[in-house]
Structure 1
């Protein structure tokens, strides 16, 4: 069952945000909104890096910092529009090489005396 408090948080999909991007997203929030996230975090996952980021931002706001134009709806790294799939292609593949001296299943190796 979904937690009703999660749906009312100031950052959408807060539980799925990567910790690394949280600092830039909380810059647009007011002190009250950061307090709300901090209370939610402490009563749910209580992740130390997250509580440190939220506490530091709350201290900045209480010391006179103003919310900036951060975008709480900004694209998350896990939703990037970059290329997906393998970067390997015929153009980036290595050059073919000869079989090892011990041979392959379809090509027998050379005895040591016959090597040149």
Structure 2
């Protein structure tokens, strides 16, 4: 239980879940499964927000909370095939520009105004 391999963890792709997705999905786990994730987290990344989240959920379960279905709309890396890169493309990019050369022989700088 203390040092599970990634393939046997209760949540697939646990290491790649953002904390928002983890927070939602951990609600569906039993106390034993949360303990397993907590032990794995402490021996691997030991991320403070994640250990706090898992510890809090474990306390809730030990106090009588029941596992729920969690949020089915939570981000799941295993379903991320439809995610693309940037929506910017050559068709939506602005025209490239260069700042004007100030005071070069081919284009002299303009005066700032009439200074007296």
Q: TM-score range by the shorter chain?
A: 0.5 to 0.7
Q: Contact (CA 8 Å) 2:4, 2:40: kept in 1 or not?
A: no
Distance 1:27 1:80, change over 3 A: farther
State the aligned residue count: 107
Q: Which runs of 4+ in 1 moved over 6 A?
A: none
Per the normalisation by structure 2, the TM-score is 0.66
Gaps of 5+ in 1: none
1:85 equivalent to 2:86? Answer: yes
Q: For residue 30 of structure 2, what is the aligned residue in structure 1?
A: 30
Alpha-carbon offset, residue 83 of structure 1:
4.8
Q: For residue 108 of structure 1, what is the aligned residue in structure 2?
A: 106
Per the normalisation by structure 1, the TM-score is 0.66
Alpha-carbon offset, residue 61 of structure 1:
0.9
Gaps of 5+ in 2: 112-116
Return the alpha-carbon distance in structure 1 between the equivalents of residues 51 and 75 of structure 2: 21
Alpha-carbon offset, residue 5 of structure 1:
2.2
RMSD: 3.6
Return the alpha-carbon distance in structure 2 between the equivalents of residues 83 and 74 of structure 1: 14
